[in-house]
Structure 1
Amino acid sequence: MASVLCPVPAFAASGIEAIMPVMDEFIPMLIAFILLWIILAKFGWPLFDKMLVKRETTIKDSLEKSEEARQESERVLAEYKRELADAKTTAAQIVADAKTAGEAAKADITAQAQKEAADMIAKAQQAIEAEKKAAIEELQGSIADTSIAVASKLIGSDLSDDEHRKLIERYVNEAGSFNAN
């Protein structure tokens, strides 16, 4: 009942015994612990250290390789961007050259068409002029013949046919020169 009324001393007595090892067991455990520590320090720790060093080396190599790969990818990306910019510049130059060539071809075709049109107009004007002259000459000839026939009926045969023709041609030429002005 004393342990119920005063639990701390009772716990203290049983608690110390729980923490403190029994001396009959402590010495063999201490010897086993020291032997185990010596064996591990002699054989286990170097293996463990080698494994840690190997792991550290592997991680360092992996980091270096990844850094090299990153630098290589950045170099390739920069080269790709440069080539893309060069390709864009080249494409823009090709388009500009094509536009220039197209405009030059357009100008040549337009100039050639205008020249051909001017030549056709000049030929047409020459043909019109030639037709006009031919029509005027034909008209003058028919007027002369008609005038000779009319004059010979009115005047009689006093003048020869050649004289009538010369007289009428002179009047027609004078009349034609009045129309020309």
Structure 2
Amino acid sequence: MNGNMKESGARVGVAVAAAVVASTTPSIALAEISGADILLPKAAEFVPALIAFIVIWFVLAKLAWPSILDMMEKRQAKIASDLDAAEKAKVQATEAAKSYEAQIAKAHREAERIVSQAKKEAEEERSRVLADAHREATEIVSKSHNAVESERKKAMIELSGQVVDLSVEIASKVIGNNLSDDQQRRLAEKYLMEVSAPHGN
């Protein structure tokens, strides 16, 4: 890179020196010389021009070229730095985009997991509620059946007692005398057996 910059600086110096030399040489009357004389400078003009060129080249080489080359090197370094920064920014942007996409994919997976877990928990809760409701309903029906059966047995016992008392009373009136306790017991048992026995058609 420094070689290219020095070569460019040399070309600029040659151009500047040539312009200075051209401005310092005497003007040639076109009417007095031919076309071949224009291309071949006279010795009296060539030596001062060469001396001026060497002096100007030396001055430029000592004073102007270092600053010009330094400026060009700095500019080239800045361009290279800007290119490096742009490349780094591009790489960072690519990495950031990949990281962002990975975070989005992770968020989607997490959302799907949460939704799936919520559905599972809701289904489990639904099953539990249905099981509890079925169990409670079964218990209520069972208790109702037990209560009805208990009330039925209680009513049957009360009704049987009333029937026995009424039967004994009727039998006593029909027979016309009081029955002993043993007779009343046997009569009641006989009546209950007849009442409890299945009736045929």
TM-score, structure 2 as length reference = 0.64
Given that residues 144 and 165 in structure 1 are in contact (C-alpha distance below 8 angstroms), is that contact kept between their aligned partners in structure 2? no
Deviation of residue 66 (structure 1)? Answer: 1.6
Q: Which whole-Å CA distance do the structure 2 matches of 1:162 and 1:121 have between them? A: 44
- The higher-RCO structure (CA 8 Å, 6+ apart) is 2
Compare the two structures and name the one with the higher helix fraction: 1
Corresponding position of 1:43: 63
Deviation at 1:102, TM superposition (A): 2.4
Is residue 167–residue 188 contact of structure 2 (8 Å, CA) maintained in 1?
A: yes
CA contact (8 A) 1:148 1:161 kept: no
Give the C-alpha shift of residue 141 in structure 1.
0.6
What is the distance in 2 between the residues matched to 1:178 and 1:153?
A: 28
Instruction: Output the CA distance in 1 between the equivalents of 2:124 and 2:84.
Output: 59
For structure 1, the residue ranges without an aligned partner over 5 or more in a row are 1-20
For 2:122, the aligned partner's letter is G
1:77 corresponds to 2:97: yes
* Alignment CA distance shift 1:115-1:177 (3 Å): farther
Given residue 100 of structure 1, which amino acid in structure 2 is its aligned partner?
Answer: K
| Contact kept in structure 2, 1:147 and 1:168, CA below 8 Å | yes
Q: How many residues align?
A: 156
Cα distance in 1 for residues equivalent to 2:179 and 2:51: 174
The alignment's C-alpha RMSD in Å is 3.0
| Alignment-derived partner of residue 56 in structure 1 | 76
Cα deviations by residue, 1:66-120 (Å, 9 ceiling, x for unpaired): 2112211211221122122112212211221122122212212321232122122
Q: What residue in structure 1 maps to residue 18 of structure 2? A: none
Partner SS state of residue 178, structure 1? coil
**Equivalent residue in structure 2 for 1:110, among 115, 122, 130:** 130
- Evaluate the alpha carbon distance shift between residue 162 and residue 30 of structure 1 in structure 2; reply closer, same or farther with a 3 A threshold: farther
CA distance in 1, matches of 2:197, 2:77: 119
Q: Does 1:125 align with 2:145?
A: yes
Residue 183 of structure 2 aligns with which residue?
Answer: 163
Matched, 1:136 2:156: yes
Quote the sequence identity (%). Answer: 33
Q: Give the superposition deviation at 1:36.
A: 4.6
Q: Which residue of 2 aligns with 1:176?
A: 196
Q: Who is 1:154 aligned against?
A: 174
